[in-house]
C-alpha cells in the first residue's frame, strides 16, 4: 500500500519544519515546498536522504505543480513576524492571497484535504477577551500590521469559499504565539529577541510599559494540535494556543531568570496597532480535538534554551 503524501508549504520555516517531522513520524511521505524567503534548509537538513522526504524550492504565489497523488496540503507559507511582514509587505499579501489561491487549486485538482495556517492576528487588537472563534476581530486594514492580518483574513475567506463552492475538504487553524527550536534569532518576535539579548548580557527591550499580554505555546504542543485538527472533521476555524496568559514584562523577567542573565529591562515606545491582550479560548479545541497544551511555559523555555545558546554562539563567532 502506497504511503499517504502531504505537501507542506513553508515547510522549511519554524513551524513548517516541525510539521515535516511530525507527518514523517506519522507515516506520511512529505513534500516540503519553500522559497526560503524566511525559511532555511538548515531546519530540514536532517531529513535530506530520508526516502519519505523531498524538498522543492518554489514560490507558491506562482503556479504550483506536484507530480503524483496528494492526500493533504498544509499551507504554512508566509512571513510571520512583525519585522518580516513590515519589511516584506507585498510578499506577505501575495502569499496570503495568490499563494492561498494557487495551493487551494492544487488541493482541488488532487482531491486533497487542505489545512490553512491562520493566526490569532485575525482578531487584531481585540475587544473580546479571551478570544474565541466566533469573534470577528478588531483589525486596522490600512495599518502597518494590516498586511499580515488582512492576508490571513482573506486566506480564511478564500478557504471557506473553496469549501462551499468547490466542495474542498478544508481545515483552518488559528495559531497563537508559539516558541521553540528553529526560530530565527533576529525574527523580531519576543522570545528570540529576549533570549538573544539575555544571553548576550544586553538590556531586554520591552515596548510600552510591558503590561500588554501574550500567551505562548511550546511548539510540540502546537504541532500536536494541528495534526489532530488535520485528522478531524472540523471545517470551521479552531484556536490552537496556550491560555496561560502573561504580560510581556513578566515574560522578559522570566527569560532573565531562566538564562541566568544579569540583563536589565529597558522600555521603548509601543508600535502602532500592537495588540494589548492576546489569549485563546481553547474550549473548541478541547471539545472537538481532545487537545490542550501539556508543556508549562518555564519547562518549554528550558527545553529551548540550548538551541538559543547555540544560535547566539554562531552569531557571535
CA end-to-end span of the chain: 49
In whole angstroms, how far apart are CA 59 and each of 14, 37, 153? 17, 9, 21
Q: Given a cut of 80, is residue 274 above it in pLDDT?
A: no
- Give the rounded distance of the alpha carbon of 110 from its chain centre: 25
Name the one residue in this structure whose C-alpha cell is 516584506.
88
Predicted model pTM: 0.96
Three-state DSSP class for 111? Answer: coil
Q: Which residues pair with 215 in a beta bridge?
A: 245
Mean pLDDT over 216-222 rounds to 98
101 vs 94: CA distance, rounded Å? 10
Q: What is the per-residue pLDDT across 202-218, written as a single tens digit (0 to 9) for each? A: 999 999 899 999 999 99
Domain annotation for the chain: domains and CATH numbers: 5-178+218-240 (3.40.50.720), 180-214+244-279+295-316 (3.90.25.10)
Bridge partner residues of 119 (DSSP): 175
185 and 160 Cβ atoms separated by less than 8 Å: no
Per-residue confidence (pLDDT) for residue 276, from 0 to 100: 85
> Using one digit for the tens of pLDDT, what is the confidence trace for 126-161?
999 999 999 999 999 998 889 999 999 999 999 999
CA 312 vs CA 108, 161, 185, 196, 289: distances in Å = 43, 44, 8, 6, 37
Is the pLDDT confidence value at 295 over 80?
yes
Distances (CA, A) of 219 to 64, 146, 261, 263: 28, 25, 24, 26
Lowest mean pLDDT among 66-70, 91-95, 271-275: 271-275
Closest CA to 244 of 223, 275, 217: 217
Cell of 32: 516540503
- Rounded Cα distance, 306 and 37, in Å: 25
- Alpha-carbon distance of 257 to 51, in angstroms, equals 43
CB 196 within 8 A of CB 185: yes
**Is 273's pLDDT higher than 70?**
no
Q: Could you give phi then psi for residue 196, rounded to 5 degrees?
A: -60, -45
Point out the residues that are catalytic: 148
Over pLDDT 70: what percentage of the chain? Answer: 99
> What mean pLDDT is predicted for residues 195-202?
96
CA separation for the pair 200, 94 (Å, rounded): 36
Look at residues 78, 153, 159 and name the one whose alpha carbon lies nearest to residue 116: 159
Spatial separation of the C-alpha atoms in residues 143 and 220, rounded to whole Å: 32
Amino acid at each position: 500500500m502506497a504511503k499517504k503524501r502531504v505537501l507542506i508549504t513553508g515547510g522549511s520555516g519554524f513551524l513548517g519544519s516541525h510539521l515535516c517531522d511530525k507527518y514523517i513520524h506519522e507515516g506520511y511521505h512529505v513534500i516540503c515546498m519553500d522559497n526560503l524567503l524566511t525559511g532555511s534548509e538548515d531546519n530540514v537538513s536532517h531529513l535530506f536522504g530520508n526516502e519519505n522526504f523531498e524538498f522543492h524550492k518554489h514560490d507558491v504565489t506562482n503556479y504550483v505543480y506536484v507530480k503524483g497523488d496528494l492526500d493533504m496540503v498544509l499551507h504554512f507559507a508566509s512571513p510571520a513576524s512583525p519585522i518580516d511582514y513590515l519589511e516584506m509587505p507585498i510578499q506577505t499579501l501575495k502569499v496570503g492571497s495568490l499563494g492561498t489561491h494557487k495551493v487551494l487549486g492544487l488541493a482541488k485538482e488532487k482531491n486533497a484535504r487542505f489545512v490553512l495556517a491562520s493566526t490569532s492576528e485575525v482578531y487584531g487588537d481585540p475587544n473580546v477577551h479571551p478570544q474565541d472563534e466566533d469573534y470577528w476581530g478588531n483589525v486596522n486594514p490600512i495599518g502597518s500590521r494590516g498586511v499580515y492580518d488582512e492576508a490571513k483574513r482573506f486566506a480564511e475567506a478564500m478557504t471557506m469559499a473553496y469549501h462551499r463552492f468547490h466542495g474542498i475538504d478544508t481545515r483552518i487553524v488559528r495559531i497563537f504565539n508559539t516558541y521553540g527550536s528553529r526560530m530565527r534569532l533576529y525574527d523580531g518576535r519576543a522570545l528570540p529577541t529576549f533570549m538573544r539579548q539575555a544571553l548576550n548580557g544586553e538590556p531586554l527591550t520591552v515596548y510600552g510599559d510591558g503590561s500588554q499580554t501574550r500567551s505562548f505555546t511550546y511548539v510540540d504542543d502546537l504541532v500536536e494540535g494541528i495534526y489532530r485538527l488535520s485528522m478531524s472533521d472540523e471545517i470551521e476555524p479552531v484556536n490552537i494556543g496556550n491560555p496561560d496568559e502573561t504580560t510581556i514584562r513578566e515574560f522578559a523577567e522570566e527569560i532573565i531568570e531562566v538564562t541566568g542573565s544579569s540583563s536589565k529591562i529597558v522600555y521603548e515606545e509601543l508600535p502602532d496597532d500592537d495588540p494589548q491582550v492576546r489569549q485563546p479560548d481553547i474550549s473548541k479545541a478541547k471539545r472537538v480535538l481532545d487537545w490542550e497544551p501539556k508543556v508549562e511555559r518555564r519547562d518549554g523555555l528550558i527545553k529551548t534554551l540550548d538551541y538559543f545558546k547555540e544560535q547566539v554562539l554562531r552569531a557571535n563567532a
